Each structure stands twice: as C-alpha cells, then as structure tokens.
Chains A and B, each alone.
Chain A
Amino acid sequence: MTMSEGDLAVAQINFVRKDTLQPLPPPSSMSGPVGWLRENLLSTPFNIALTILIALFLAWIIPDMLRFLVFDAVWSGVDREACLITAERPVVGACWPFAFERLPYFIYGSYPIAERWRVDIFFVVLAVAIVWLLWLNAPRRDLGLVYSFIVTPVFSYILLSGWPLIGLAKVDTVLWGGVLVTIVVSAVGIVFSLPIGILLALGRQSRMPAVKLFSVMFIEFVRGVPLVTVLFMASVMLPLFVPENISPDKLLRALIGIAMFASAYMAEVVRAGLAAIPKGQYEGAQAVGLGYWQMMRLIVLPQALKITIPNIVNTYIGLFKDTTLVFIVGIFDLLRTIEVSRIDPKWAAPSTSPTGYVVAAIFYLICCYGMSRYAQATEKRLAKAERR
C-alpha cells in the first residue's frame, strides 16, 4: 500500500469522529429507584405475588409489635396496678416498670446487695479477657491467653465465692443468679471445653488403641444424648458417685455437666480442623526431629486452630444458648430469674410474661448476634489470608 492511496481514502470520507461517544444512560425504567424496584421486587408475576404477600405480612406484624413495645407500653409505675387493663386503657403493651424494677435481680440474682461490686469487677475483668482474646491485633496476645485462661478463672473464683482470709465474705453459690450465672456457666464451658476438647480430638486421632477407644466412647456418648440428660446425670447421679462428705454443690454439678457436654462438641470441631492439615505438615515436623507434643504445639495445632476459629465461635454460641438448660436442674440463670419474676403476684398483669421474655430475648440476641458477626468477620479474614 502506498502513501497516495491512503490519502485518497481519507479524503473520500467526509465525516470522521475524533473523540469517543459517551454511552447513553440506561432508560429511566431500568435504573434508579424504579429500576431497582423492577429488578428486585417485581421481576416476574410470581415475584410480584411474593412481594405483596410479604409486604402484607410485615404491615400486619410490625405495627402490632411497635404498639406493644413502645406506643401502648407502660413506662412508669410501682406495681401491677400500672399494667392492668382498665376502662380508660383497654389495651396494655409491655410492662416496662416491671423490667426496670427487676433489672438488678435479672443481673445479680440474690447476690447480697452489699457485695454486688464484686460482680461488677468480675464483669470488667471478663470484658478485658474477651477483648484481649478476640481482638486479633491486640498487643501481647500470648499474655492475653494466660490472662484469659488462667488468671481470670482463679481471680474470678476468689472474687465471687469469697475468701474470708483476705476480707472477702463467703457468698454461697445458691445466692448467685441472673446474668451472672449465665455468664459464669458459659465462661466455664468455654474455658474448659477448649483444652479438654483438644486433648479428646488428639486422643481420637491417636495410634494407641486404648486412648482412641476411651476418647471415641466419651465423645460419641455425650454427643448422642440430650444436654438435659447430661445435666440430670450430673445433678442426680454425680452425688452418688462421690463420698457423701465431699458432695459438690448444685452449681458446680451443673458446671461439670456443661463442661463435659461442651468438651465433646469441641473435640469434634477440633478434629475437623486437624483433618484439614495436610499430611506433609506432620511429616515435615517429624523430619526436623520434633517429638509428638512439640509437633502438635508448634506446627499442627496453630494451623488447625486458626482455621477452626469460626467453628469454635459457633460452638460457643450454641453453648451460650444451651446454658439456659441449667434452668431445668434448678439453677437461677437469667431465664429462671425471669420465670420467677413474671409469676410474682406483685407484678401479675397480662403483659408481664411477654415483657420478661422480651428482656431475655434482647440479651441473648445481642450476645449471640455479636458472636456470630465476629465468627463471620474472622472467616472473611482467613479467606483473605488464603488468597495470594
């Protein structure tokens, strides 16, 4: 091709666009709020029907809930009179003065009022432990581990049950109650289940038949029966199995049941993590001459536990919800303090029971939802670390 031919071709075209044409905006029916509605709510006849159905359901339930919780609710009063149905007030919503008055009972149970500062300190100490443990960029996390799993339990035990030698009066566990017991029971489950669960998971993988047999038996037995029966076992059978003079108190018995139960579930979670570690890691550790415990402590467990963090947190959520079952063996956890309060004649009114349950629901929702968000965030973080 010569130069002159090219010039000729350009000269024959009488219009050449020099810059790129901007794309037109999509039609208004496909973008903006209208487009969003069309795509997300009204795309097919079936979808339109579904949207209408759900909207109607929400329109039915949400105003009723708001009326009960806020607009028709009673906000002040001293006893049941405030929340009764009267001629001038035919509809009564939530009975909030009941919840306000009983709040200390919901939190501390029957813990002596003069000693409640000890419970407050316990909550603070525990909060520090939780933050130190969960905040992945916290300084000195190794110290945090020691603090959470060794210092906190010992300190809390002395603080809560008392030690007359240093001037802390003894407080019998029968008096403990409410959120305090719920937190103590779940904390004990959490602190004991992880180490015992790791040992059981390692035992299940062991090449020693006796160790393996006992681990499998324990795990399958506890996982095969309901928690209620484990608690019944701990509360009615355990006292038979120990000499009469050292019979453990009621709370301790429930704690033993919860710890056993949680350990078995934790063992299966840890086992899943161990199974995900490639064989090369074990062989590599053995090739550099590490013994069994060194290999587990330095190579295998750090990797296995890291990938199981979301599952461990999910097990803790389950455990936290399951602590309500100590109610059945007569421990005054949050739910039981609410049950006791709601049938108290002083506050007997139609809306007392729902109000009590709403209080419990808010507490559990905040705690469990928080934990599940944490598990999801960790999962995302781990997924990011996997991508290279």
Chain B
Amino acid sequence: MSTELKAGSPPASVPFYNDPKVRSIVYQVALCLIVAGLVYGAASNAVENLQRARIASGFGFWDNTAGFDISQTLISYSNTSTYGRAFWVGLLNTLLVAGLGIIFATILGFIVGIARLSKNWLVNKAATAYVEIIRNLPLLLQLLFWYNAVLKALPDLRESVKIPGGIFLNNRGLFLPAPVTQPGFGFVEIVFLLGIVGSIAFHIWARKRQEKTGQQAPVFLTSLGLIIGLPLVVYLIAGMPLSFDFPQAGRFNIAGGLEVVPEFAALLFGLSIYTAAFIAEVVRAGILAVSHGQTEAAYSLGLKPGPTLRLIVVPQAMRVIIPPLTSQYLNLTKNSSLAVAIGYPDLVQVFTGTVLNQTGQAVEVVAITMAVYLTISLGTSFLMNIYNSRMKLVER
C-alpha cells in the first residue's frame, strides 16, 4: 500500500499544533507579549514610584547647576558648572585613565608574556609567579591595597620624598614639573604632525617600491628622523620655547607644577598591573599558536633569529593576539569604573555617584552611564568584526 507525499504541505495526519511553523510563531508571540508585559509593568511602577517620591523625570537636570567640586578636571569646571559639564569631566577622566592604562598594560603585558616563554629559568618562573598571583586576586582588593596601604601610607607633605628633577612624592600625590610652552612652540607641534604624516607617506612609498623592485628603504630611521629629529631641530632653531614650572614646597601646600592625585595614580597602577597579567597570557598563547614549522622554515631559508621573529612569528601571532587583546582593553575601560571605590572622579563616581545622589533620577543617570560604556564596547566590537573579516585566513 503506497501513500503519496506532496511536497510543501504536511500530511493531513499531523495536527496544526504540531506544525513547527505554527509553533514557532506561537512561541515568539508569547515571548514578545511577556517582554512587553514586563516592560509595561516596570514602566508603570516606575512612574507611580517616582510620583510618590516626588522625583522629577526627564533630562532637564542636565543644565542645572551641579554645586559640587571635582578633584581632577581636564576641562575647566567649577561648582557653578552644570551637571552636563560634570558628565564631560567624568567621561574625560575615564578616558584618560583608560588610555594611559592601555598603554602601560600593553607594554608590561608584552614583556611578561615573552618572559613566560623565556628559556631562562628565573625569568620564566618570576613571570609565571606574577601572572598567577595578580590574576587570582580581585582587582578591587588590589586597588584598595595600592590606594590605602601604599599611597596613603606615604609620608605627609612636610616630609615629602624629594626625587631629583624637582619631583615631590607624598600622601597628597605626586608633584611633577609642568611643561609650559612659550610662543613659538606651535612651530614644533606643526612640524611634529607633519613628520608623522611624512613618515606614513614614506612608509607607503617604500612598500610600493619594494613590491615593484625588491629594494628596501630605511623606513625606521627615516621615520625616526622625521618624527623626532626634525621637531628637535626646529625646537633648537626657535630658541627652545619650552620651560618647566617646578613645584614649590610651601609649609601647608605645594604650589605650581603638575599634580597627580593619589586616586589617579592608584587606579592607573592597579588597572595596568592587573590587565598586564591577562595581556601576558594572551601574548603567550598567540606566540605559541604559531607552529614551530614556521620558525624552522624561516631558519632553513637562512633568516636570522631577529628577522624570523619580526617577519615570520610576530605577524602571524598578531592575528591570534589582537582580538583577545581588544577585549582586554575593553575590560580595562570597564574596570576603570571601580574608581568609585577609591574616589577617583571617573564617569561612574561623578555621575552614578554624586549626580545620582543629588538629583535622585536613577533611571536617567544609570541609563546615560550605561549608554556611554555600551557605545564604547559596541563601537570597538564593530571595528573588531571588520578587522577579523579582513584578517581571516583565506584558504584557497
């Protein structure tokens, strides 16, 4: 006995509620209804609760006077500035500590990562101990340690540690000579920028020529000359238009100079050291991912260890290293929000801390803060996706 199966329509014996398509639609509609219900419930509760607590809603507070001071500001700010201004101050402080932290963590992380692969027993073990200890301690504990047990335990103002070069170190921070530009320094800056543009252009030209003729050009030396040498010459010709404002130790205060507040130093220190341990592991994994055959092939072609590392191993390792490295950079940026625990005025401390307490507008303030971090994270992962698709190994 044979039955005919028609393509496209399910056999009549299957009831409609077993049809995968019908089921899928029912599930999705149900899910949407649940989510919509939750959102509606939350919103109506929020409106009711806010009205009862007499808290304003909306973003009108943005232009109100903040009325509090911030210990470290990169742009002009006073307690008569607006909440909006405070937001930008906090955001810039976050970006400053994240940017510097990324630079230091990368340098330290690469050194430790390579040291973990060293054949030198002592170097290898020291790097391993560093990574194992730092990775297994909470970042918050490390930050509190640097801030409370190290920087706050430094001698007070009158017994400041004096470091040659006009630097003072005490429990109020690090006081460095501040560079002051004189008229004429603008030329040096312009030449410096031109030098960067010039060396990029030279690099492109040199690569094209090498592809065409096989001749190599001294890219590194030329770039060095253009970026550092030329501005230096202009600086000397212009009559050295740069002076330093040295900090002066008074009885109760240190005047002048560049002040690095201990909160900033502790956060930068803690973040760099913590993230460097993770970067070290990323670097180690990346280098180990380049198969040994690649190195051997390079040696058999007659390349020396230096060029082998530079031309064969590192470019291939970078492909493996860069995606997790970027996520470490994002982690560092997100972790900089722990500033709130030691009182460094970053975005979270200024905005989700002080502004939230003053205005009581939890929904708006938390939403703005989250939006900032989301923008940074999603923007970076968007760029990473482009990079990954460009770097993907094309196999035949």
* A is bound by B: yes
Q: Is B107 an interface residue (CB 8 A)?
A: no
A60 within 8 A of B: no
- List CB contacts (< 8 Å) of A229-260 with chain B: 229, 232-233, 236-237, 239-244
30 pairs of residues in contact across A and B, judged by CB atoms under 8 Å: A41-B120, A47-B119, A54-B126, A57-B126, A208-B24, A210-B31, A211-B28, A214-B31, A221-B374, A224-B374, A226-B334, A227-B334, A228-B337, A228-B352, A229-B369, A232-B352, A236-B362, A236-B366, A237-B366, A240-B45, A240-B362, A242-B42, A244-B49, A328-B140, A350-B153, A357-B141, A364-B138, A365-B133, A365-B136, A369-B136
Contact A357 B145 (CB under 8 A): yes
Whether a CB of chain A sits under 8 angstroms from the CB of B341 is yes
Complex partner residue of A224 from B24, B135, B139, B377, CB under 8 angstroms: B377
Residues of A within 8 A of B348 (CB): 226, 228-229, 232
Known contacts A229-B348, A229-B369, A242-B45; A328 and B340 CB within 8 A of each other: yes
With a cutoff of 8 Å between Cβ atoms, the chain A residues found around residue B123 in the complex are 47, 50-51, 54
Cβ-defined contact, B122 with A41, below 8 A: yes
Residues of B within 8 A of A328 (CB): 140, 338, 340-341
Q: Are A353 and B121 CB-contacts (below 8 A) given A237-B362, A324-B141? A: no
Q: Chain A 311-323, CB within 8 Å of chain B: the 1/0 string?
A: 0000001000110
CA distance A339 to B152 in the complex (A): 14
Give the most central of B123, B138, B340: most A CB within 10 Å.
B138
- Chain B residues in 8 Å Cβ range of A353: 148-149, 153
Q: Which residues of B contact A357 (CB under 8 A)?
A: 141, 144-145, 148-149
B32 at interface, CB cutoff 8 A: yes
The distance in angstroms between the C-alpha atoms of A214 and B334, with both chains bound, is 23
Question: In the complex, A360→B144 CA distance in Å?
Answer: 11
Other A-B pairs beyond A54-B122, A214-B35, 9, CB < 8 Å: A41-B122, A228-B337, A243-B45, A244-B49, A321-B138, A324-B138, A324-B141, A364-B136, A368-B135
Looking at chain A, what size class is its interface with the partner chain? 35 or more
Which residues in B have some Cβ–Cβ distance to A below 8 Å? 24, 27-29, 31-32, 35, 41-42, 45-46, 48-50, 52, 118-123, 126, 132-133, 135-141, 144-145, 148-149, 153, 334-335, 337-338, 340-341, 348, 352, 356, 362-363, 366, 369-370, 373-374, 377-378
> For residue A232, which residues in chain B have a CB less than 8 angstroms away from its CB?
348, 352, 356, 366, 369
Contact assessment for A364 and B374 in the assembled complex, using a CB-CB cutoff below 8 Å = no
A33 to chain B, nearest CB (A): 12
Q: Does A284 contact B (CB under 8 A)?
A: no
Partner of B27, one of A208, A236, A354: A208
Whether B144 and A240, one on each chain, are in contact in the complex, defined by CB atoms closer than 8 angstroms, is no
User: In the complex the two chains form, is A372's CB within 8 Å of B136's CB?
Assistant: yes
Q: Are B137 and A229 in contact (CB under 8 A)?
A: no
Residues of A within 8 A of B45 (CB): 240-243
Please state if B141 and A361 are interface contacts (CB–CB under 8 Å): yes
Known: A43-B120, A242-B45. A364 touches B137 (CB 8 A): yes
Q: Are A325 and B373 touching (Cβ within 8 A)?
A: no
A57 to B123, CA, bound (A): 11
Residues of chain A within 8 A of B144, CB atoms compared:
335, 339, 357
Which residues does chain A contribute within 8 Å of B153, judged by CB atoms? 350, 353
* Contacts of A359-382 to chain B: CB distance below 8 A: 360-361, 364-365, 368-369, 372
B365 to chain A, nearest CB (A): 9
B120 touches A50 (CB 8 A): yes
A102 within 8 Å of B (CB atoms): no
Query: Is the beta-carbon distance between B373 and A327 smaller than 8 angstroms?
Result: no
Complex formed: what's the CA distance from A224 to B42 in Å?
22
The 3 A-B residue pairs with the shortest CB-CB distance, nearest first, are A224-B377, A368-B136, A210-B28
Residue A80, interface by CB 8 Å? no
Majority-rule SS of B interface residues: helix
Complex alpha-carbon distance, A214 and B32, angstroms: 9
- From DSSP, what is the main secondary structure of chain A's interface residues? helix
Q: Whose C-beta in chain A lies nearest to the C-beta of B374?
A: A224
The answer to whether B141 touches A335, judged by C-beta atoms less than 8 angstroms apart, is yes
In the complex, the answer to whether B337 meets A229 with C-beta atoms within 8 Å is: yes
With A and B bound together, what is the CA distance between A55 and B125 in angstroms? 12
Say how far A126's CB is from chain B's closest CB, in angstroms.
Answer: 20
Contact partners of A51 in chain B: CB under 8 A: 120, 122-123
B32 touches A210 (CB 8 A): yes
B123 to chain A, nearest CB (A): 5
Select which of B49, B334, B352 is within 8 A of A240 by beta carbon.
B49
Give Cα A368 to B142, complex, Å.
15
Chain A residues near B132: list those with CB within 8 A: 369, 372
A101 at interface, CB cutoff 8 A: no
| B126 (CB) vs chain A CBs: closest residue | A54
Which B residue's beta carbon lies closest to that of A242?
Answer: B45
Closest-CB distance, A353 to chain B (whole angstroms): 5
Chain A contacts of B137 at CB under 8 A?
Answer: 321, 361, 364-365, 368
Neighbouring B residues of A322 by C-beta, 8 Å: 138
Q: Are A41 and B121 in contact (CB under 8 A)?
A: yes
Q: Say whether B136 contacts A225, CB under 8 Å.
A: no
Query: Which residue from A39, A236, A364 sits with its C-beta under 8 Å from B356?
Result: A236
Say yes or no for A31: interface residue by CB 8 A criterion: no
A229 adjacent to B141 (CB under 8 Å): no
Query: CA separation between A57 and B132, bound complex, in Å?
Result: 18
Tell me the smallest distance from the CB of A352 to a CB of chain B, in Å: 9
Residues of A within 8 A of B136 (CB): 317, 321, 364-365, 368-369, 372
Residues of chain A within 8 A of B145, CB atoms compared: 354, 357, 361
Interface: A112 (CB within 8 A)? no
CA A237 – CA B341 in complex, angstroms? 20
How far does the alpha carbon of A50 sit from the alpha carbon of B334 in the complex, in Å?
Answer: 35
Residue of A nearest to B274 (CB): A321
> Are B141 and A211 closer than 8 Å at their CB atoms?
no
Give the residue among A39, A207, A228, A243 with the most B Cβ atoms within 10 A: A228
Given contacts A41-B120, A335-B138, contact A223 B377 (CB under 8 A): yes
Say whether A63 faces chain B, with CB atoms less than 8 Å apart. no
Beta-carbon contact of B366 and A233 below 8 Å = yes
**Among candidates B28, B41, B334, B366, residue contacting A208 with C-beta atoms closer than 8 Å:** B28
Proximity string of chain A (61-100) to chain B, C-beta cutoff 8 Å, 1 when within and 0 when not: 0000000000000000000000000000000000000000
Q: Nearest chain-A residue to B133 (Cβ)?
A: A365
The docked-state distance in angstroms from the alpha carbon of A204 to that of B366 is: 26
Instruction: Known contacts A210-B28, A226-B337, A232-B366; decide if A244 and B52 are in contact (CB<8 Å).
Output: yes
Which of B135, B139, B149 has the largest count of A CB atoms less than 10 A from its CB? B149
Tell me, rounded to whole Å, the shortest Cβ–Cβ distance linking A51 to chain B.
Answer: 5
A42 → B minimal CB distance (Å): 9
| Complex Cα–Cα for A357 and B373 (A) | 30
Give the residue name and chain of the B residue nearest to A352 (CB): B149
Contacts of A229 in B (CB 8 A): 337, 348, 352, 366, 369-370, 373
Contact among A223, A228, A354 with B340 in the assembled complex (CB-CB below 8 Å): A228
Report the minimum CB–CB distance from A225 to chain B (whole Å).
Answer: 5
CB of A327 within 8 A of CB of B341, answer yes
Q: What residues on A are CB-neighbors of B352 within 8 Å? A: 228-229, 232
